[in-house]
Copies of this chain bind each other. A is one copy, B any other.
Amino acid sequence: MKTAKNRKQSTARLIAAGSENSADLRYACGFQPTDPVVLLHTARERHLVVPMLELGRARNEAPTATVHTPGDLGLSPSDRRSLAAWTVAITKKTKTQRVRVDSFFPAGIMRALEAANVRVEIADDALYPEREIKSAKEIEFIAQSQRAAAQAMRAAVEEIRAAHVNRAGELVSGKKTLSSERLRQLIQIVLLKNDCDGKETIAACGRHAADPHHRGEGPLRAGETIVLDIFPQHLKTGYWGDITRTVVKGPASAALKRLYRAVLNAQRVAREMIKPGIRADQVHQNVARTLSSAGYQTKMRDGVPVGFFHGTGHGVGLSIHENPRVALASDVLRVGHVVTVEPGLYYPELGGVRIEDTVAVTKSGAKILAACPYTFEIK
């Protein structure tokens, strides 16, 4: 009799994904489709079902997979357009009676499989938990995106340095206002020149900087914090990088300098704690304690959270947010994990400060993947 664990390992894994949500697919077989495809990954084989249009690319990019088209699977012309029909057909062809999928697997295909008497197990967590531990090659890919991010950061800091301040306190570069939008564009162009896409870059000033997910808009202003959060995905490898710096076009007030020092210190504390075997939630709780000991309270105020109210970090790889989490869950850090370290403090009346590096967990602790100065006050 098989044990639950053996059964879990031998159950075929099934993915139905397009270019938008295909990190597992890329990991499992190397293929990055334009249109949705199906991958059935058994203990011994990988079966890809792709539209006729993707046949050539699939054969080239996924040499370890057996590539099928809907026509090969004997589907009727109308079923050839149904991803559910492809999926049922490939399970029949391979005599697969049980599959494992992740929780975001398409519900419509699950129903079709069940109607065809294929049992569908939904993985509690990741379908490819092995993605957490990165090989040396993967770490180099992440470092490559991280170096692009650091280069874009330096360009953004130089742009702010070169800007002057007009009477309204707004930054002006050349003859035009230096806005969040303009700085973001400058960052994105540097990323593109490094073969990276940085669509969701954050360049947020003042009260926008106090909202960690605000991407920023309008003129940048002197004397206010500017959060620059750059997280590019490499257009070829698919691996991400993630870096944040916070700067002020000076002079910065004493209150802002204190806020910055508290976050910088907490970030260093977290990096120094990271080593194989440590529980990530302990790192996170220590960061929270360090910030509150420095006098920065986390609480709800007028229905809005202030202080330190996000995780300390997250895994980075073929997804920008993946396991492990450096937060309240009790993940244990191991050699080959790549995580961000990004404490922050946010108060609407002051602004926001976040400082983030992406590090690899090595035997000797956290290794920063791309150096980038911790610039704060820019005069």
Interface residue? A197 (CB, 8 A) = yes
Query: How far is B107's CA from A110's CA once the two chains are assembled, in angstroms?
Result: 7
Closest to A348 in B: B56
Query: How far is B122's CA from A57's CA once the two chains are assembled, in angstroms?
Result: 32
Q: Which of B55, B84, B103, B199 contacts A84 (CB 8 A)?
A: B103
Closest to A197 in B: B199
Closest to A56 in B: B211
**Closest Cβ of chain B: how far from A118's Cβ, in Å?**
13
Interface residue? A77 (CB, 8 A) = yes
Known: A106-B107, A213-B57. Contact between A192 and B200, CB under 8 A?
Answer: no
Interface residue? A235 (CB, 8 A) = yes
Q: Which of B19, B81, B211 contacts A57 (CB 8 A)?
A: B211
Q: Within A244-290, which residues are at the interface with B (CB < 8 Å)?
A: none
Q: Mark A165-194 against chain B: 1 for CB-CB distance below 8 A, else 0.
A: 000000000000000010001001100110
Copy number in this complex?
Answer: 2
Interface residue? A332 (CB, 8 A) = no
Known: A108-B122, A305-B52. Contact between A34 and B185, CB under 8 A?
Answer: no
A120 partner residues in chain B, CB cutoff 8 A:
107
**Closest Cβ of chain B: how far from A49's Cβ, in Å?**
15
Interface residue? A85 (CB, 8 A) = no
B107–A213 CB distance below 8 A: no
Q: Within A302-336, which residues are at the interface with B (CB < 8 Å)?
A: 303-305, 309-310, 321, 328-329
B122–A111 CB distance below 8 A: yes
Q: Which secondary structure dominates where chain A touches chain B?
A: mixed
A189 partner residues in chain B, CB cutoff 8 A:
189, 192
A192 partner residues in chain B, CB cutoff 8 A:
185, 188-189, 192
A106–B104 CB distance below 8 A: yes
A304 partner residues in chain B, CB cutoff 8 A:
55-56
A102 partner residues in chain B, CB cutoff 8 A:
108
Interface residue? A43 (CB, 8 A) = no
**Closest Cβ of chain B: how far from A370's Cβ, in Å?**
21
**Closest Cβ of chain B: how far from A286's Cβ, in Å?**
19
A200 partner residues in chain B, CB cutoff 8 A:
19, 34
**Closest Cβ of chain B: how far from A186's Cβ, in Å?**
10
Closest to A186 in B: B192
Query: How far is B327's CA from A35's CA once the two chains are assembled, in angstroms?
Result: 16
**Closest Cβ of chain B: how far from A124's Cβ, in Å?**
9
**Closest Cβ of chain B: how far from A34's Cβ, in Å?**
5
Interface residue? A105 (CB, 8 A) = yes
A56–B122 CB distance below 8 A: no
A197 partner residues in chain B, CB cutoff 8 A:
197, 199
Interface residue? A94 (CB, 8 A) = no
Query: How far is B77's CA from A161's CA once the two chains are assembled, in angstroms?
Result: 44
A159 partner residues in chain B, CB cutoff 8 A:
none
A101 partner residues in chain B, CB cutoff 8 A:
107
**Closest Cβ of chain B: how far from A208's Cβ, in Å?**
10
A310 partner residues in chain B, CB cutoff 8 A:
53
A105–B106 CB distance below 8 A: yes
**Closest Cβ of chain B: how far from A312's Cβ, in Å?**
14
Query: How far is B254's CA from A139's CA once the two chains are assembled, in angstroms?
Result: 50
A-B contact pairs, 18 of them (CB 8 A): A19-B200, A20-B21, A34-B200, A35-B321, A53-B309, A54-B213, A81-B329, A101-B107, A103-B106, A103-B107, A103-B108, A104-B107, A106-B106, A107-B110, A110-B110, A185-B195, A192-B192, A197-B199
